[in-house]
Structure 1
């Protein structure tokens, strides 16, 4: 794909009077190649509007629902402005969470442009990022704290950056991020274009983000996800401690992908542990976990090793996990904005989904939710869902060890005696990897691969924790 992309760039450059870039208006062939790489049939109306607005305005504010494709909506305009052959960083994307940074990095690489992108975020080895920044990437995406740290250390060539993106700017600019974002903006003397995106219209843009007559695109549906795709229901718990009701609800929902939202980290772990004691296979996820633990939890949820993820509002933004069927508000959200973002994990793109509010005896529906919503009546007898088909293996080797997905498939096929259909989703990180394996064969596989090597190196392989 890289050679095909470069050929398209050269052809497009000639059409614009020479092979100097940026491509102010990318040719249809280039966009088609990008969409093919992303397995997307066509740009939606919001993405087309963003592309056109960024061609005619220096600054654009894009408001669109979670899951509507905002990442591509700002990456395509960024790509149009990149100068080929320039050896310094040209665009900076600031995001509120490491998960969102990684998601944007993944999408950009899947686009197959040939341009380098690097993600910088807390919890990642700074030394690794510094090495990645030695040969300046065209695009850097990262969280405010880590980007500010690299700027202070002189690891980022700030003078060459002319495009700044603040993705999920309402969250990024919340109290606690303001100071770092202000520092980052002040450190970029030559920014000529801004893109700000959000799934809500909940916060004013501070004065330090100086915009020049910005074009505002509002594609937000009323109430978050469109009503015809998002169904909202309630379950009434007879007890203030709602864990038993949650357990019976999950049994009632069956083996469907479900996110359970709690308001505090301690409640997340307690709820997860109590569900486990009752026989519900689940995992939990919150901001106090180590990066490897967070990666493991999300990978197990993505690959179907667990169908239930118990989490804080950290998972309400930035996670791009397809086919989430249910959102359960175990604790009532503090704000309507939080409610909208939680619900945005389901009913994404053209899929449908259901948000379920769990109410204790002394709790009432939030004023922004219709009192006429359906009440789910749970059966008295709870039947445990079947165990998921997959389990996840942890492999202590990754990209920095020159290990890729093909290596892992080959190893598990040849040494682990697994068929192709026995191997599920594989995720390769910098220093470790995760792979889903059919539950019925994982014990035998772990036994036969003892002492075997991947790429002539013996590495630890075990069940992911």
Structure 2
């Protein structure tokens, strides 16, 4: 299949870190030119976001302000991630992101400007719809990304409010990493064209192993298992935030480097911890299923299920963080003697023995720096690189991942460069702004 030539989606490749689109993306882009409701089923990590975002961006470039787009996502992290991808396409168009924990008044003011693209979570978007902040008539394309997850999170009523305000004449596109048995009745259509690429994940090589332990020693067993991974990127899943915090307390007592992620955390802490994991400043993340889908997390070598989810789909999505797109990966199930395997798993799994002795791994060679300025201050990644190279004494190659948030920026740099940089930048200004630069705590 050739890249669609009308419109020319291929021109976006100059702004992306690869030379060609994959077969799934090309297929979806071609089908997106029609007006029928379209469902894309594809595994985690296959590139669904770009598959729908590039045709949407091209449409907005050609038809804004008479046509605008709406993307509905299940989590604030995914909303922010999509916003960053959209910005990387350099369309020259504005996007407004709406989610719980973000300033409602700021969102309302941005929506009054009728941005080309609105990205948001069902709860916050439904609030804006009810108040009348979201201009409905110009919304011509509606994307429901990770749609089944929004339903699983219980956003049925909020989605009903949003769709109740639409006139049903929009072009609809849905994405999911699992098949839906049926479509909810609030959608203005009962059938849609489906592109099923879930079978493409059949070639991945996921090695599942069982780790047995007693209930009393379960957390200690987990720590010994994790120590054996050394510096390899690892993700531990729990069903509840209380378990995440309990594990974190033990790891902290042993000075075991790690980060955590769950829905009870402040948004700024969630974003910081995700950045540290993405950038490699933390190699271990303990998380709830918030980290199982839709987030831009790099290839992970080990996935550990400290608690098994009750549903098979959740288990599949967790494992989808590793062994992605025909890669190899390790997945471990830690099972106490008084726990049993769920029906969706085979009863005979190879067992992995965890040694009694272990050594706490070294911390990462990278450090995460905090800068007290962000999007609201018109800070760009180029500004940060210039500040650290011209004022902080770094080479460009020293600067790793950069994440710019509303009021803060995080940057990964080599740990041995931190003290000198902090000294050199202590009284310097970034874009004429007096900023604080410090190690992220």
Q: TM-score, normalised by structure 1?
A: 0.88
Per-residue CA distance 1:129-188 (angstroms, 9 max, x = gap) = 233323212221110111112222322210111221111111112363111100100111
Q: Could you tell me how far apart the structure 2 residues matched to 1:328 and 1:49 are?
A: 34
1:395 maps to 2:379 = no
1:160 maps to 2:138 = yes
Q: Could you tell me how far apart the structure 1 residues matched to 2:281 and 2:327 are?
A: 22
Is the Cα contact below 8 Å between 1:268 and 1:284 reproduced in 2? yes
SS at 2:400 equivalent: strand
Is the Cα contact below 8 Å between 2:370 and 2:410 reproduced in 1? yes
1:194 maps to 2:167 = no
Please list every run of 5 or more consecutive structure 1 residues that lacks an aligned counterpart in the other structure. Answer: 1-24
Q: Which of residues 316, 333, 337 is equivalent to 1:361? A: 337
Q: Which of residues 257, 262, 270 is equivalent to 2:246? A: 270
How far off is 1:205 after superposition?
1.4
Q: 1:374 to 1:227 in 2, by over 3 A?
A: farther
Is the Cα contact below 8 Å between 1:59 and 1:212 reproduced in 2? no
Q: Could you tell me how far apart the structure 2 residues matched to 1:32 and 1:139 are?
A: 21
Q: Which of residues 79, 101, 114 is equivalent to 1:136? A: 114
Q: 1:238 to 1:209 in 2, by over 3 A?
A: same
Q: Could you tell me how far apart the structure 1 residues matched to 2:7 and 2:188 are?
A: 35
How far off is 1:68 after superposition?
1.2
1:185 maps to 2:163 = yes
Please list every run of 5 or more consecutive structure 2 residues that lacks an aligned counterpart in the other structure. Answer: none
1:433 maps to 2:404 = no
How far off is 1:390 after superposition?
0.8
1:90 maps to 2:90 = no
Q: Could you tell me how far apart the structure 1 residues matched to 2:17 and 2:178 are?
A: 27
Q: Could you tell me how far apart the structure 2 residues matched to 1:120 and 1:317 are?
A: 19
Is the Cα contact below 8 Å between 1:88 and 1:137 reproduced in 2? no
How far off is 1:361 after superposition?
1.7
Is the Cα contact below 8 Å between 2:76 and 2:121 reproduced in 1? yes
Q: Could you tell me how far apart the structure 2 residues matched to 1:177 and 1:213 are?
A: 21
More moved, 187-196 vs 29-38: 29-38
How far off is 1:241 after superposition?
3.8
How far off is 1:230 after superposition?
2.1
Q: Could you tell me how far apart the structure 1 residues matched to 2:396 and 2:88 are?
A: 23
Is the Cα contact below 8 Å between 1:239 and 1:360 reproduced in 2? yes
Residue of structure 1 in register with 2:25 after alignment: 47
Q: 1:203 to 1:462 in 2, by over 3 A?
A: farther
Q: 1:268 to 1:128 in 2, by over 3 A?
A: same
Q: Could you tell me how far apart the structure 2 residues matched to 1:43 and 1:35 are?
A: 8
Is the Cα contact below 8 Å between 1:88 and 1:157 reproduced in 2? no
Residue of structure 2 in register with 1:424 after alignment: 400
Q: 1:241 to 1:376 in 2, by over 3 A?
A: same
Q: Which of residues 96, 120, 125 is equivalent to 1:147? A: 125
1:243-322 paired onto structure 2 within 5 Å: 243-322=219-298
Is the Cα contact below 8 Å between 2:428 and 2:434 reproduced in 1? yes
Q: 1:175 to 1:235 in 2, by over 3 A?
A: closer
Q: 1:267 to 1:339 in 2, by over 3 A?
A: same
Q: Which of residues 65, 86, 104 is equivalent to 1:126? A: 104
